Amino acid sequence: MLPGSIQISGETLSGAEIRDICESLRENSVRLLSLRGCQLSERDFGHVCRGAAESRSLAQLNLNLGIVSNINRVKQLAEALKANRSVQSLFLHGSPLTDAGLALLNPALSIHPSLVALDLGDCMLGDEGINLICGLLPPDGAKSGLKELTLSANPGVTSKGWGRLAIAVAHSSQLRVLNLDYNPLGDQVAGMLAVAVASSRTLEVLDLEGTGLTNQSAQTLLDMVENYPTALRTLILAENNISPELQQQISDLLSEGEEEEETEAREVTAREKNPWICQNNSSSQMVLMTSGLGDSLLAETEM
């Protein structure tokens, strides 16, 4: 039987329900476990963590909206992640982690062999937490690292912390999706992010919705998209003080880049199917360009 999913939202879970969940985890019959906004006792939370630790099928774990509500639960989750080898996506959106909680969780995140998507939105993080997250974006392609990162609504991070993240993004060997929506970034931080995007070879999606940007930063982003080759395909600028004209210009340029890559990809595919197509330049190289992540790991469950 193929692994399935358990998705429960906003319920108070009984001991019997927790036992059923844990049994399914240990039988490796669960790929996605979402307990978004649910109420469960400290003891039952520990049971779920031990079940996750033993599971070899669990790929996505959603504990959004306050499930990881204290330091003791953070410690139990960290122990589970140290033992688990299968989780690819971890959702902790709306958990009061703070920098201290993330410091306890970080060693397990750093050594996890499969984790590629992490949601730490609205987790009361500050600059120290951002410094820890930067360690999850290694520049060496031989090391595992995050492909999708959500840091929405963490207003305690200062421009210094965001600057540190921008440097890590610029050198990350794998990051493809970065969600920074609803943080008070402002034009200064947006300028740093523009440099990071121009330097990154992998970043395809950047969400800056509701981040206090103006036409000044939008013009910087427009210049970046217009004049520098970038992997960026989606830039979200809604709910900022940016003119519709500038937003449309940026959108049009990103669409043009995607269309060009799709054309190149079709040409390469045609040449691969017909090896007798003559190349005018015998030393020319064929490069297959692809765009988009397909189905985002973070999109499979609701926040």
pLDDT of residue 188: 96
For each of the domains in the chain, give its residue range(s) and CATH number, in order of start.
1-89+98-111 (3.80.10.10), 125-262 (3.80.10.10)
User: Does pLDDT of 292 surpass 90?
Assistant: no
Residues 164-205: tens digit of each pLDDT: 999 999 999 999 999 999 999 999 999 999 999 999 999 999
- Confidence band for 144, pLDDT divided at 50, 70 and 90: confident
Per the CB < 8 A criterion, the answer to whether 210 and 181 are in contact is: yes
- Are the C-beta atoms of residues 90 and 61 closer than 8 Å to each other? yes
- For residue 3, pLDDT beyond 90: no
Question: Rounded to whole angstroms, what are the CA distances from 211 to 96, 127, 135, 182?
Answer: 21, 17, 24, 5
Stated pTM of the model = 0.85
